Amino acid sequence: MHEDLHHGHDAHAGHDAHAGHDAHAEHDAHAGHGDHGGHMGHAGHGDHVAQFRRLFGIMLVLAVPVVGFDPMFADLVGYDLPHHGWTTWIAPLVGTVMYAWGGRPFLTGAVDEIRSRRPGMMLLIALAITVAFVSSWGASLELLHHELSFWWELALLVVIMLLGHWIEMRSLAQTTSALDSLAALLPDEAERVEGDEIVTVPPSSLAVGDVVVVRPGASVPADGRVVEGSASIDESMVTGESRTVRREVGDTVVAGTVATDSGLRVEVSATGDETMLAGIQSLVADAQSSSSRAQRLADTAAGWLFWFALGAAIITALVWTLIGLPDDAVVRTITVLVIACPHALGLAIPLVVSIATERAARAGVLVKDRLALESMRTVDTVLFDKTGTLTRGEPTVTGIEAHGRDEGEVLALAAAAEADSEHPLARAIVGAAERRGLTVPSASGFTSSPAVGVRAEVGGETVEVGGPYLLEQHSLGELPVADAWREEGSIILHVLADGDVIGALRLADEIRPESREAVDALHAVGAQVVMITGDAQAVAESVGAELGIDRVLAGVRPQDKAAQVAQLQDEGRKVAMVGDGVNDAPALAQADVGLAIGAGTDVAIGSAGVVLASSDPRSVLSVIDLSRETYRKMKQNLWWAAGYNLLSVPLAAGVLAPIGFVLPMSVGAILMSLSTIVVALNAQLLRRLDLAPERSAAKLRG
């Protein structure tokens, strides 16, 4: 059955006790997914990043003559401008270009906010640059007081706001599309049986009733029914089951799954949008489109500041007019509207996000979605996929029972017999012997019997390793420990020497040593830990009990994983999902925060908001730590930026005029610049954050 794949040795496949001897072969498919660093370029965001970068560069160059030839800036700094008539028009003309060209994104954004009746950052910026533009032209044409020339302020505002939006767009650039990755699971071509010939065709041309050939190692091109042959099918990318499944004549197979050991002929039963893979695509798309997009903190603050500035300007105009100073009313009102412009506010969030994502990337945490990062601090339930996340996703010897020999000898003899095999369980046995530092004797005469076991001559003894059928051939019974192991969902192999049982080996998907620490730290911060898996209940319960997991959801199909997440959300929980396979993609997209293990599939990564380059489950704690610190810096910067406005606007309006103090425009401009510098320096403090998984775990445990 498995000779083609295992070079004549898949003796263990087909055992009732451990039908999944090849259980973990599917995880080889994950091996090539470790490098996702080059995916940070989503088509839509990539264009915007380039546009804002180019526009920022151009406006930065144009700002130099505007600021340099602005009389108000020259007076503020203390230098003399040339007295040639044409120099007085440099700032107005170039400033007009900056307003119309560099300010266009904000002006169009303001129109959208007005139409949606949701004033925010764009409207506040547009108001400030428009008032500065109109008043500056009024001052340049000597229609208004010369103090109302804000060309330099207009130029700096446009440049700083474009810088903020460039940084923000860059931080929001996303990785490869999940839906494209799902489609990539299908083979590029299919082999259709036409009479006595086999014709290569694209999968899209297949129709229900066609018979296709699936060769060893190839993907199934469409859903169908096996009509000839049998093979162990790797369905992990669709079902999440941690062991391959034997499919024979009459059984159904799913598009995108892989025949690992031998060829099949399959009659197509569903194609295109009717396949299970297409169903998963639909689930991912639905979950992504239904994900709520909370309004940005900065936009919320800007919305309030807009009404604050507008109200302050109206009150200023009325008060100064009523006391009989209409000229001062114009000057004060315009000053209020310009000073209300959010220099610091425009950089408060983007700078923090940019530094946070950079710092995270250095620690192996790739932030795709800023909102996911913001939300992680409020998560109270974390769902872990089992295989490949909490466990290594490959078999490991987890127990040895010796009978008449010591454990080391039993393992060494088993490793000797399995040494010539490339089977995953054989590699696990040999690897266990190596880790223990055992001397493995040489073997000869290696043979394999499908569904029975392997045999080899070792040191003058005939050593056999296999499952229940091997014992039946020798009319032998299992060791008593086998029942307990079987209840745990473990794979059981017995070791025989010259026909006598000398021991048994327990093999299971090894739990990562970091998993317990991750679970404990999550409990310390008050989060419920849930494990969700396609594996059998016994296997899942065993892992859950060992790790101290609160809830275990086993035997969950891919279409049900997203529903399980939704159910938790219906309970009022803020859910984070951690997974690595295609079967996890709908759940990752449905969750409030999706975290993909970087060693997983492109589909999982495309559906997640955060990608963990490491397979260390403690990396989740790094994300929580980063989220908390990032949010704290965001709040600090927002309060500082907004606080400047809350203080400077009333002063500019003249609330202290009765005692002889009115905030000069020049002082307001300096304070504006200082506010921006403070925000930038505060954001830089994030660089001191140590996001090593072990540090984050220790920090959160307290």
Amino acid identity at 79: Y
- d(C-alpha 311, C-alpha 328), whole Å: 18
Cβ atoms of 316 and 131 closer than 8 Å: no
Bridge partners of 505, per DSSP, are 400, 493
412-425 CB burial, b ≥16 within 10 A, e <16: bbbbbbbbbbebbb
Cβ atoms of 284 and 586 closer than 8 Å: yes
**Largest alpha-carbon pair distance within the chain?**
115
- d(C-alpha 295, C-alpha 297), whole Å: 6
Give helix then strand counts, H and E, for the chain. 26, 22
Query: How many CB atoms lie under 10 A from the CB of residue 677?
Result: 11
What does the angle CA 660 – CA 344 – CA 330 come to, to the nearest 5 degrees?
40
Cβ atoms of 45 and 172 closer than 8 Å: yes
Q: Strands (DSSP E) along 527-618, which ranges?
A: 528-532, 551-553, 575-579, 593-597, 610-612
* List 369, 385, 580, 602, catalytic entry: 385
For helices 151-172 and 90-97, what crossing angle results, to 10°? 30
Query: How many CB atoms lie under 10 A from the CB of residue 314?
Result: 12
- d(C-alpha 691, C-alpha 658), whole Å: 53
End-to-end CA distance of the chain: 54
Helix segments in 20-141, DSSP class H: 43-68, 71-77, 90-97, 104-115, 121-140
**Distance from the Cα of residue 616 to its chain's centroid:** 14
> For this structure, is 35 an active site residue?
no
Amino acid identity at 646: L
- d(C-alpha 103, C-alpha 53), whole Å: 14
Q: What torsion do the CA atoms of 168, 169, 172, 173 make, to the nearest 10 degrees?
A: -150
Tokens of 596: 């993909």
Residues 6 or more apart whose CB falls under 8 angstroms from that of 314 comprise none
Residues acting as catalytic residues: 385
